[in-house]
Structure formats: C-alpha cells, structure tokens
Structure 1
Amino acid sequence: MPEPVLPDPPVTPAPLFETAVVAGVGLIGGSVAMGLRQRFLARRVIGLDASMDVLREAEALGLVDEVRPGPGEWLREADLVVLAAPMRALIPLARELAPYLNPAALVTDVGSVKGGISAEMERLGVRGFVAGHPMAGSERGGVTHANAALLENAVWVLTPTDHTPLTALSRARTLVEHLGAAPVVMPPDAHDALVATVSHLPYLASLALTHMVARDERLSLLAAGGFRDLTRVASGDPRMSRDMVVENRTALKEALARFRRQLERLEADLDEPEELLAAAHEGKRTRDSLPVVKRSLLPQKHDLVVAVPDRPNQIGAVTQALGAAGVNIKDIEVLAIREEGGALRLGLESTEAVAHAAQILRAEGFEVRGRA
C-alpha cells in the first residue's frame, strides 16, 4: 500500500529579528508588537510592562508571545528592543534597561520628543540606539486599541546623531519599512522644532479654544463640526499630552512666539480686506497641498496575514482555496519577500471571514496570523 502523501510543513519567512522586546505595551507599543508578529518580522515578541493587567491583555489579544514585568538578564537575548513608554517614563525606562541590553541589539524608541532620549542613550553608552517617532496615534489610548494598521503609511522619523552607527540606522530603516511605514531621517533638534509647530502647538491651541468654550456655555451650543475638528487633539490623554509638550518646551516656546506674530498679523489684516483675502488664499493653497495619509485603521479592516514560500503560484493557491470556500477577499497586499519566503495580507469582510479563512488555509498547510 503506498505511503500517504503528507502536505509540506508551513513555511515562515526568515525573521529580521530572533527576539524582539517591546517595553511599554500601550497603543503604539502594542501596535508595533502586533506588526512584528503579524508580518513575521520576529521569531519571538516579548512584552515588557510594569502593569500585569496590561501584559495579560496584550497576551490575550495575541500581540506578544511572552510577557515580562521587569528587566533582567533575559534581555540579553533580544536583538531588537523598542522603548514605548510615555514621555515622562521614557528616560527612566532607558536607564533601567541599559545594563541588560545586548551590545549588538538594535534599540529604538517611539517617543514624540527626541533630544532628551538621544542624549541620555549616548550618556548610557547604548551604541545601537536609533531614536524614532512614528507620526501616528489615536484619541483612544491603551493596549486594547492597538492595531498594526495604525503604523501603515505613517511617516516614521528616525533621528540619528553623529555617534549613531550606520549599520544601526540601516537596520532601523528596514524595520520601519517592513512595518509598512515610511522612514524619514533628520537630526533630533530638527525633529523637535518641526513637531513643536505641527503637533505640540496645535495641542495648546486646541486647549485655548476649548477653554474659551468652557467659560461660556452659549458657545458650546454653536460649536459645530469645524470647531470639533480643530480641537480634536484636546481629547487625548491629559497627562501624556502634558508630559509631551513640557518635554519639548524650548522648541514649543519658539513656535508659540511665531504663532503670536501670525495672529497679530491677521488681527491687523481685519482692517485690510485685500490683505486678509491674500492670507486666506495662501492658507487654502497650503492646506490643500498637504498630503492625505490614508491608513487602514479607519475604516476598520479585518486582516489575515499568510506566510508563503518564495515559489510560483502561491498567491493563486491562497486565493483559489478561499474562493472555492466562498470567502470574499476585499484587499490583498504582498508584504516584503525575505530569504525563506514572504507574506500576503488579506483584507476580509468580517471577524467571521477571518476565522473561516484561517481554518481553510491552515488545512492547506499555510501559517496564518491576524486580528479581526
């Protein structure tokens, strides 16, 4: 009697990292952890956080493979460490982890201010550090709202210093690209000056406007969509937002001075209608020319990532198996191909479709990952 033909074992793409540690598993840290797992970028993802509740939630959501409540010798196994604590806790976290870091590891962060952490990591002698800031976020904080799609198509600023090894910067760029984001490189002080204007100043402006409404309840009756859009960032976490702007106060004070001059100019233009019209045209041209960053977080998508070997007809094998079972694929993306294969991201209609597709593809010998 002939031997039964067994299906080939699932093929997993060669990971960029063997062991990745995400220290601080909140909205951004959790999204990075999810991206590392979904896109097969790390063989093992460990979540490090002082809160056991957060760690249990991250594990239950499938964002991490393991959890740890504190640093120790186990950290030396990590070849990627992502510092994702809130701004006020970022430097203390770096000091706590530094004695245990593998000298060969890539270390990065996701903080919104770069000068302080860059200087501190140099003082601590962490050679493989590349400061980073993904320009992504949500008013809904916490690990429960983590989503790898939050990072897709986002600008991710990397801010090396004169002491940053080129190999570390290259590895950081590769990581960012494989997470689906767009790396932009600039010095730390240039980054901090720019975000003071485009991120931190709008937060203070939204606070000022909301305070005006709070002090006159008649205004709240008339605060329509435009006002709500303009003050959206005031809905963020107050403590985290406070820490963010205070950390960048030097650059932010300079931006505030420029903003006051702009307001004074516009006030004067109220008596010069043609000047005000010219200012309005300039504002419209500038606003209309801003790039629209389309992220898949909104509207919600239900994604399944499928590991595939680097050989012909693998996309066809996946789509034919799902099509035969009546699973409708709404979107498909080929993720980066690596040594032992690559991955496909499938956008499906619902959580039920994700579960059904996963069952079908596993039966066909594919390894799948996803979160509906």
Structure 2
Amino acid sequence: MATRTGLRTPLFAWIVAGWALANVADSLLAVILAVWVVELTGEAALGGLLFAVFGVPALFSPLLGRLADRVSRRRMLWVTYVIGAAGLAPLLLVRDASQAWWIFAATVLYAGVSYGTAGCRGGILRDLLADEDLGSANSILQTIDQVLRLGLPFAAAGVYLWTGPLPIVAAAIAGFAGAAIVFASLRFAESPVEDDDDPFWRSVTAGFRHVARTRPLNRMTVVLVLLSSTAAFTSSVGFAVLERMGVEPAWMGPIEAMSGLGGLLAGVSAAWLMRRIGRPRVLAAGAGIMVVGVAPMLGDGVWLLAAGLAVLGFGVTAAVIAYVTESHVSTPSRLQGRVGTSVNMLLQLPSVVITAAGAAALGVVDARVIVGCGIAMCVAATVVAASTPQDVGGRD
C-alpha cells in the first residue's frame, strides 16, 4: 500500500528539495552548454544544433518508462541522478574546440536524466497525493523551477564571463549529487508493481495507447506537441536573433531568464486558474499567450524581446502545469512511467528535427522566417486547445 501524504508534510518538503537540487543542474546548464559550444567553435548554428541534441534520448524514453513502471521509482531517481553527475564530470577537462564533441556527448547523457526521471516523478506524486492536490503540487514544483530559471542564468552568465564554464559544471554535478542523496535517504511506500502479461513491445507502447484513447488528454497532447514545435523553431534561431540585435552569446542565459519571471507568476496562479476554468482552458490560454510572447523575436529590440520572453514564460508554464496535472489525474499508477516518457518522446522527436532543420536553414533564410513558422504552430495549437472539451478524465 502506497504512503499517503499531504502538501504540508516533511516528506513532501524533502521530495520538493530533491527535485529542486536536480533543477539547479538543469537551470545552470540548459543555455550555458550551447553558449560554450558557440564560444569554442565560433559557430552560432552549432549552438542551435546543441538544443536539438537534447531530444536524442527521446528515442529510448519508452523503454525508460517501462522500467519506471516495474521498479522502485524512488531508487530509479537517485541512481539516475548519480549517472547524471558522472556523465557531466568529463566536461571539467574540456579546453578547446577539438573537444566540443565532448559537450554534445555529455548533453545526450544529461538530457537523458530528465527522461529517466519523468515517469518516476508522475508515479511518485500520484502515489503520495490525492487528485485534488496534484494541481497544487505541480504548481509548486513549476514555481520552484521558474525561480531557479530566473535567478541562476544571471549567476551562471556572470561566472561564465569571469571564470569560464568549469565552476558552473562543478555546481551542476553537485546539484545532481545532492538530489541523489536526498532520494536515496527518503523512505516511503510505493504502489506495488502490477503484473504485466503483455508482450514486450506492447507493454513498452502502452503509454502511447493510453494517451490516444483518453479524453481530453489526447487533444491536449496534440496541443502540447504543437507548442513544443514552436519552442523548437525559436530555440534554433535564438543565437542568430541575438546576433542581429548586436548582443553577445553569453547574454542568452540572462535574457532567457526573463521567461522565468512570467513562469513564476504562472506557477503561483495555475492551481487557482485550473480550479476556476478547468485544465483544458488553462492550456488554451497558455497557448494564446505564447503567440504574443514569441512575436518580438521578429523585431530588433532587445528589451521588447526580454518582455516577450516573460510573457512566453507565463504561457508555457501555465500550459505545462495544466497538461501535466491532467496526465497525472487521468493515468493509473501502473502506467505513469510509460505515459510520462511516451509524451516526452512525442514532444521531443519533432523538436529535434525542427531544431536541427532550423539551425541548418539559417544559412539559407532569414531567422524571421523560422520564427514565423513557430508562430504559425502556436496559432494552430491555440485553435485546437480552444476546441478541446472540459475535463472528463480521472483515476482508473
């Protein structure tokens, strides 16, 4: 029998602390790795290509999801964080452009950490919390994530400009190691692993089937895929947009950190909004707001770009919280791992292709054309989200 807890308990507080430590690593490295590649090689396109590499582990994510549904998720969490810390260690030896491929290799492993933990997170929250607490829990976690994304990129950029990337890498390793220690130390009962008599590949793909047949999760997933594609279009040309505006690549982190400001506001209000208007409508509102946030990338104003990213952060965070909560509520514990990783695969594989294509297209077309494609995807997502019926999902 799984342990039941509440939002105001020491157990939940420690779980939040563990995920916060892991997010420290993510917030420090998400942009700095790409900046590092650009500085080493002098190629803005390679920085955009690095963002595409983040999606490579998506190819194997359903296998990780099946594993998360068949082992202790708490144990899988801390082991995965140990692997993440070890995978970053070689970056401490990178010194010149000939070793830039080490950064790409470490990025694949580092990105794999998020896929390995995606199913674990959903399963643990669903085991520990009642349905009515899931929205608030996801809002809390997203709020902490946005606070870190707001503050740490500024600190990382300052450290990078002053001493280079190595102290940042060391801090990220410490974040993963700290998260591993927290989850290795916690003790709570998880839901028992249920027998699965399906053939191997049918078992692996059970998450996709659940998403496809569950309403409104299926339509909400389409919306999130379109929004993820929007992010891919814009990420692929981020450095080119800054170059057009005359801004150094190292400022990518602080400028993108403005999205954390909007994300913070969304994090503290999303649970209330979901109770008032429902999860699909919050998703629709987030998609519409994202259109406004991306538009300044078509112009030449740095401050307008920063303001747009704050608006974008609000829309993205609200949409993600609404979707993740719907996924947790409408998915039984035995499928949480496979659903979480299947959705990640649906989001990331198109993003990999789009980001790589966008980075390659920079030599042929203006960055504004690629941004325009992203806005078109975002508008399509808003239309689909606006026609999605209200919540009908729930616990099986």
Give the structure with the higher percent strand. Answer: 1
When Rg is computed on C-alpha atoms for both structures, the one with the higher figure is 1
TM tier, shorter chain?
A: under 0.3
Give the alignment's TM-score, normalised by structure 1: 0.26
Give the alignment's TM-score, normalised by structure 2: 0.25
Give the structure with the higher percent helix. Answer: 2
